Amino acid sequence: MNYPATKSLLILGGGTAGTMIANKVHKRLPDWKVTVVDRDDIHDYQPGYLFIPFGINTPEQIRKTKRKYYSDGIDVVMGEIELVDPDAQQVSLADGRTLGYDYLVIATGTTPRPDQTEGMLGPEWHKSVTEFYTYDGAIATKRALESFTGGRLLMHVTEMPIKCPVAPMEFLFLAHDYFTKRGIRDRVEIVYVTPLDGAFTKPVASRELGNELKKRNISLETDFMIESVDQEAKVIRSYDEREVAYDLLVTVPLNMGADYVAKSGLGDELNYVPVDKHTLQSTAHENIFALGDASNIPTSKAGSVAHFSVEIFVDNFVQLAHGEPMTHSFDGHANCFVESGGGKALLLDFNYDTEPLTGTFPLPKVGPMTLLKESRANHLGKLAFRHIYWNALLPGRPLGLPADMKMTGKNPE
């Protein structure tokens, strides 16, 4: 069936979710006008940020131009998004341009906001107080680690949710490995300061990852809700008046959605768009969807969630375009590698209803990957994914992985 060119899908954000949606919808609905709006032409492989401080990835391996990953026929508009007017079905850009739409996808992700914590930004920002959730931050953290010769290193998380919630754990494991190889591990005290009551959000994963921290002599400071950073005294303070000193603070600032989301009246208190967690459809506007890190769905803000949810969204959207009801349901599937150092990694596989469990993936007993247990196969899988990301995932090619989580190979607890 052909559709008039006046039918349009406008996608805000050209990250993982936005690029995949554009390519997949354009292929499935070639007569629709598909437009992507983004602020620049830079696309970063964000899982690679973590590896830059340890010299595992180079900046050139994780940063590419966006335009080469869009299929021919997709319109790309560069500009800063100012406002969405759902009633007028129109998006205003900061330079005065306006874009109309029939359907809108918000995929502008989540961003670290150090400005939201007193004292975090200051003269020592990206020096003795740093982060690795941005490109510039990852470069700064590399410099900080290279000049660090001993003392207390804090890995700190401000508040959940955060993009890639396993990344702080990975940083801890890689830091242990890094300082061990430099021969100074005995001169470095590593502490994980978290707002959670354990190492992770889910009980089984928290237990297993907590054990991995103990093996590496990494301390855990839990239930820490940060109030401020005192860069002069080199301490962080919590609302319950605890203080934790540092020589080097690697923090994950508060993560928030885009400011235009709040300005447009489309977001919650953290600027995430409330959606139906199974269809990703806005709870307030039937022709608006939010994908990737931009929504408020109760699962990890991880690349795998973007991948699996996009698969469900596109199938549903094609039905919607045909005037049919949406019959596909996203189950919150997340699949996360946890790099643990020494050429090994762990793997987590879970969804809305099932927490990360031990076992093997994707096949029972055979694996070849292990769940919540270190293995070389997991490490190789994580390294290989960068190639898959650039050459298959972004262009919208099928990966052969089911969008729904399977219990095959998992050990119920």
Q: Which of 6-10, 260-264, 298-302 has the lowest mean pLDDT?
A: 6-10
Question: Which domains, from first to last, does the chain contain?
Answer: 8-111+256-321 (3.50.50.60), 113-254 (3.50.50.60), 334-393 (no CATH)
User: Taking a C-beta distance cutoff of 8 angstroms, is the pair 101, 8 a contact?
Assistant: yes
Quick one: pLDDT at residue 401?
A: 81
Whether the pLDDT of residue 153 is over 80: the answer is: yes
Whether the pLDDT of residue 57 is over 90: the answer is: no
Whether the pLDDT of residue 46 is over 80: the answer is: yes
* End-to-end CA, the chain: 49
- Looking at residues 324-337, what average pLDDT do you find? 96
Q: Between helices 16-28 and 303-321, what is the axis angle to 10°?
A: 30
Whether the pLDDT of residue 87 is over 70: the answer is: yes
Quick one: pLDDT at residue 204?
A: 83
Quick one: pLDDT at residue 6?
A: 55
- Looking at residues 123-140, what average pLDDT do you find? 97
CA 255 to chain centre: 10
Closest CA to 253 of 337, 140, 161, 144: 161
User: Taking a C-beta distance cutoff of 8 angstroms, is the pair 191, 177 a contact?
Assistant: no
Quick one: pLDDT at residue 258?
A: 98
Q: Between helices 203-215 and 167-182, what is the axis angle to 10°?
A: 10
Q: Which of 136-140, 163-167, 226-230, 314-318 has the lowest mean pLDDT?
A: 163-167
- Looking at residues 119-144, what average pLDDT do you find? 97
pLDDT in tens, 245-288: 999 999 999 999 999 999 999 999 999 999 999 999 999 999 99
Quick one: pLDDT at residue 294?
A: 98
3-state secondary structure of 33: strand
Quick one: pLDDT at residue 4?
A: 42
pLDDT in tens, 167-182: 999 999 999 999 999 9
CA 211 to chain centre: 24
Q: Per this entry, what is the length of the chain?
A: 413
Q: Percent of the chain having pLDDT more than 70? A: 98
For residues 296 and 270, give the distance between their C-alpha atoms in angstroms, rounded to a whole number.
Answer: 9
**Using 50, 70 and 90 to split pLDDT, how confident is the model at 346?**
very high
User: How high is the mean pLDDT of the chain?
Assistant: 94
Rg (CA), the chain: 21
For residues 363 and 49, give the distance between their C-alpha atoms in angstroms, rounded to a whole number.
Answer: 30
Quick one: pLDDT at residue 1?
A: 39
pLDDT in tens, 390-412: 999 999 998 888 899 999 899 88
CA 115 to chain centre: 20
